[in-house]
């Protein structure tokens, strides 16, 4: 589709890179997902050049919407002038987000650093990746700020080891994304940034982090298993279409059999242990 519209707009595929962001950039998108993408183009960033790419990007975003990938409500799409930028502009942004750790910059880093090329020229992305791998590891202030943000999310396990539910539509539920997978995704990203690990996929990051920290393989794979089980539960909810109070990531505890409930509890316990490791490393 990107190639088709590039041809219609008379744009050379080597002159730009279309990138996926967030869960799509990590190859972890679920059924309940929308578009998260951006565009990197070569050469000067004149108004005329940018308008050409914006018109192209808008056609692609609209076509993806027709195909079942909804437009992003937060406008994190290539047709947004703020993220349809030249290679040089992206490089400056990436360096700025690391060097100047405002709340907005930290949020941007969490979204845009998880990028993956979908189409176009991969060479345009080399410097962006290099900035992440060289600027982030020595910047302890940046890493601590990311960790502090992540540690605000709490794993739903009580002091007594029980599951701490929230009430949605009169049902006792757990938000598997907000209080589960998102915590693992954030922790894996922070450790990857700290150790100059180039992977963006969470499973690959967790394995690489375990190797970098010399963690026993059994413990490292428990992180992976916990993440994949929580993702599986999210997908099962979305496939069945059983949203609770409009939340596609909430699961009713009473809907699980005893075995699944025990696995859920163990997966969340592993998640909490990993978060506590993050806190000891960066949150002090």
Angle between helix axes 258-282 and 217-240 (nearest 10 degrees) is 120
4, two tokens: 């088709």
Check whether 284 has a pLDDT greater than 70.
no
Q: Which element (helix H / strand E) includes 222?
A: helix 217-240
pLDDT one-digit tens code per residue, 80-124: 999 999 999 999 999 999 998 788 999 999 999 999 999 999 999
Cα-Cα end-to-end distance for the chain: 48
Angle between helix axes 126-135 and 87-99 (nearest 10 degrees) is 10
User: Strands, DSSP E only, in the chain?
Assistant: 16-20, 37-41, 84-86, 116-120, 166-168, 171-175, 250-252
**Residue boundaries of the structural domains of the chain:** 2-125, 143-282
pLDDT at 102: 86
pLDDT at 243: 87
- Per 3-state DSSP, the chain is made up of helix, strand and coil in percentages (nearest 5) of 60, 10, 30
pLDDT one-digit tens code per residue, 212-271: 999 999 999 999 999 999 999 999 999 988 889 999 999 999 999 999 999 999 999 999
pLDDT one-digit tens code per residue, 53-83: 999 999 999 999 999 889 999 999 999 999 9
For residues 23-38, give the mean pLDDT. Answer: 89
Check whether 196 has a pLDDT greater than 70.
yes
Q: Grade residue 44 by pLDDT with cuts at 50, 70 and 90.
A: confident
Which residues have a Cβ under 8 Å from the Cβ of 279 and sit 6 or more positions away? Answer: 147, 151
Give the chain's mean pLDDT: 94
pLDDT at 32: 67
Number of H helices, E strands in the chain: 11, 7
CA 144/CA 280 separation, integer angstroms: 11
pLDDT at 94: 97
Whether the Cβ atoms of residue 77 and residue 57 lie closer than 8 Å to each other: yes
What architecture (CATH level 2) is domain 143-282?
A: Up-down Bundle (1.20)
Check whether 33 has a pLDDT greater than 90.
no
Whole-prediction pTM:
0.94
- Phi first, then psi: what are they for 196, rounded to 5°? 55, 45
């Amino acid at each position: 589709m990107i190639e088709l519209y590039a041809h219609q707009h008379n744009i050379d595929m080597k002159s730009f890179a279309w990138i996926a962001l967030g869960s799509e950039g990590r190859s972890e998108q679920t059924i309940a997902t929308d578009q998260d993408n951006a565009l990197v183009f070569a050469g000067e960033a004149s108004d005329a050049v940018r308008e050409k790419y914006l018109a192209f990007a808008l056609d692609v975003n609209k076509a993806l919407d027709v195909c079942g990938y909804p437009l992003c409500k937060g406008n994190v799409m290539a047709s947004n002038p703020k993220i349809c930028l030249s290679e040089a502009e992206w490089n400056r942004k990436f360096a700025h987000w690391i060097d100047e750790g405002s709340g907005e910059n930290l949020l941007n880093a969490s979204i845009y650093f998880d990028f993956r090329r979908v189409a176009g020229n991969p060479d345009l992305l080399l410097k962006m990746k290099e900035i992440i791998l060289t600027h982030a590891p020595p910047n302890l202030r940046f890493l601590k700020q990311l960790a502090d943000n992540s540690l605000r999310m709490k794993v739903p396990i009580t002091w007594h080891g029980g599951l701490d539910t929230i009430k949605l539509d009169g049902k006792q539920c757990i938000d598997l994304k907000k209080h589960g997978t998102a915590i693992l995704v954030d922790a894996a990203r922070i450790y990857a940034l700290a150790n100059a690990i180039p992977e963006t996929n969470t499973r690959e990051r967790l394995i690489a982090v375990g190797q970098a920290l010399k963690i026993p393989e059994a413990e490292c794979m428990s992180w992976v298993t916990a993440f994949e089980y929580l993702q599986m539960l999210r997908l099962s909810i979305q496939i069945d279409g059983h949203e609770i109070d409009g939340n596609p990531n909430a699961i009713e505890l009473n809907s699980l059999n005893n075995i699944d409930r025990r696995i859920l509890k163990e997966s969340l316990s592993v998640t909490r242990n990993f978060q506590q490791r993050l806190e000891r490393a960066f949150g002090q």
